[in-house]
Structure 1
Amino acid sequence: MVAYRIRRYRDEDYEAVREMFAMGMSEYVPTLCVHMLKQPWVILVLACTFCLLLTSSRSLLLPILAVTLLLATGRQVLGYVWSLYIEHCLREDLLDIRTTYLGSKGACFWVAEAEECVVGTVAARPSEEQPEELTLKRMSVRKDYRGLGIAKALCQTVIRFAQEHGCQAVVLNTLMVQHEARMMYESIGFCSYHQYVLPTVYGWLANFTVSKYRYDIPCVD
């Protein structure tokens, strides 16, 4: 069992935190591709392309090559769009972590450290929708340190922080490709209370669903 400790973010963690976030999010590209292949309009486009080329060319090789090319192109496009999303996140709160989290009231950023390396992160800041709620953000654990309970420990750190600051609940958002994360949150006691498709053209095409989760803080008499 690897020993680890959870501590507050320090400035020397900056590059490690950003790199781990980018690498962790990049792991979702294959899952995103599978998700896209399940969309009815994608299946229809691939099927129509195959049938039209098979009928016109009377050759099996051409439609197979065409569909393969479409799949490869789609994989590259999805990878590029996802990289833009990652860059967008890195330019937001992760651009100046100290100011965003440690310099704001009711916010904080923690890292999990093992073998003198940052292997996990989590952040929290007041919800923009409900001031009495705390938003959990930037949960990430290095791939080679998963399954050790680090993610749950980070999550419990946020819950304790919320209790100490008198918050009524901890809320968070997950994406449709984050299956393991949703299972982990649910095992702790988070409950899904709302789902919506990202209100953009890309969100509609990809059926890009966001699930909102909530953990109610028990009242202390």
Structure 2
Amino acid sequence: MANYKIRNYDNSDYDTVRDLFSSGMSEYVPSVCVHVLKQPWVIFVLTCMFLSLMLTSKSLILPLLAVTLLLALGRQVLGYCWKMYIDQCLKEDLQDIQKTYMESKGSNFWVVEVDESIVGTVAAKPSDEKHDELILKRMSVRKDYRGLGIAKALSREVIGFARSNGYRSVILNTLMVQSEAKKMYENVGFKRYIEYVLPTIYGKLVNFKISKYRYDILPVT
């Protein structure tokens, strides 16, 4: 098992943190593609196109080629849309990590080091909706260091920070493709309390769901 240490973010970590977030989020592209392919209307469109081309061309090669090309095009479009989402995140709170988290009251950003290399991150900031809620954000662990308990340790770091700063709960959002992350959070003690479809045209079109989790901090007795 790797020996790791959790420490506060430093400005020298900037590029590594952003690269770690980008690479981690990029891993979900195949899962997003599979989810979209399972949508009834997508299956219906592909089936109708295949049958129409087969009936008109009286050939199996043309419809197979057409469906393959359409799937390849769809993969490129979904990959592009996902990259736009990642770029948007990089332009928001990850644009100036020091200002957003380290210089803001009630916020913090942590990194995990193994042999002086950063292999994980997590952040926390106050909720905009409730003053006693802390939002856990930007959880990411490098692929070759998963399964070692690092994500759980980062989650507990945020919970401890929330407890010491007087927050009553920690909340977070997960995407429907983040199945491993959901299991990890549930093992730590987070409970899912809301699930909704992403309120955008794309979200509604492909039934892309967001799950919200909460960890309630019990008062010390």
TM superposition score category, shorter chain reference: over 0.9
- Counterpart-to-counterpart distance in 1, 2:140 and 2:119: 8
1:87-134 deviation line (CA, Å, top 9, x unaligned): 000000000000000110000000000011110000000011111000
Equivalents in 1 of 2:150, 2:118: separation in Å? 12
The letter of the residue matching 1:145 is: Y
Q: Quote how far apart the aligned CAs of 1:206 are.
A: 1.8
The equivalent of 2:123 in structure 1 is: 123
1:157 aligns with 2:157: yes
Question: Residue 193 of structure 2: SS of its match in structure 1?
Answer: strand
* Percent identity of paired positions between Structure 1 and Structure 2: 64
SS of equivalent residue, structure 1 residue 93: coil
Instruction: Please list the CA deviations of residues 179-220 of structure 1 after superposition, one character each: whole Å capped at 9, or x if unmatched.
Output: 100000001110100011111111111211100000000111
Partner of residue 22, structure 1:
22
Correspondences of 1:175-214 after superposition (within 5 Å): 175-214=175-214
In the alignment, structure 2 segments of 5+ residues that lack a partner are none
Indicate the residue corresponding to 1:37 in structure 2: 37
CA–CA separation in structure 2 for the residues paired with 1:206 and 1:88 = 20
Take 2:86 and 2:205, find their aligned partners in 1: how far apart are those partners?
19
Counterpart for residue 138 of structure 1: 138
- Counterpart CA distance in 2 for 1:206 and 1:115 is 42
Q: When the two structures are superposed, what TM-score results if normalisation uses the length of structure 1?
A: 0.99
How far, CA to CA, are the matches of 1:140 and 1:207 in structure 2? 25
Q: Counterparts of 2:129 and 2:37 in 1: how far apart (Å)? A: 34
Query: What secondary structure sits across from 1:128 in the alignment?
Result: coil
Q: In 2, distance between residues paired with 1:199 and 1:136?
A: 21
Q: Deviations over 1:59-78 (max 9, x none)?
A: 01111001101100000000
Q: Report the equivalent of 2:106.
A: 106
Letter of the structure 2 residue corresponding to residue 114 of structure 1:
V
Which amino acid in structure 2 is aligned with residue 39 of structure 1? Q
The letter of the residue matching 1:124 is A
Distance 2:130 2:35 in 1: 32
Count of residues paired in the alignment: 221
Distance 1:129 1:178 in 2: 24
Q: Distance in 1 between matches of 2:103 and 2:42?
A: 46
Unaligned runs of 5+ in 1: none
Aligned-partner residue type, residue 46 of structure 1? L
Structure 1 runs (4+) deviating above 4 angstroms are none
Taking the aligned partners of 2:150 and 2:199, their CA distance within structure 1 comes to: 33
Aligned to 1:77: 77
Amino acid at match of 1:10: D
Tell me the secondary structure at the aligned position of residue 129 of structure 2: coil
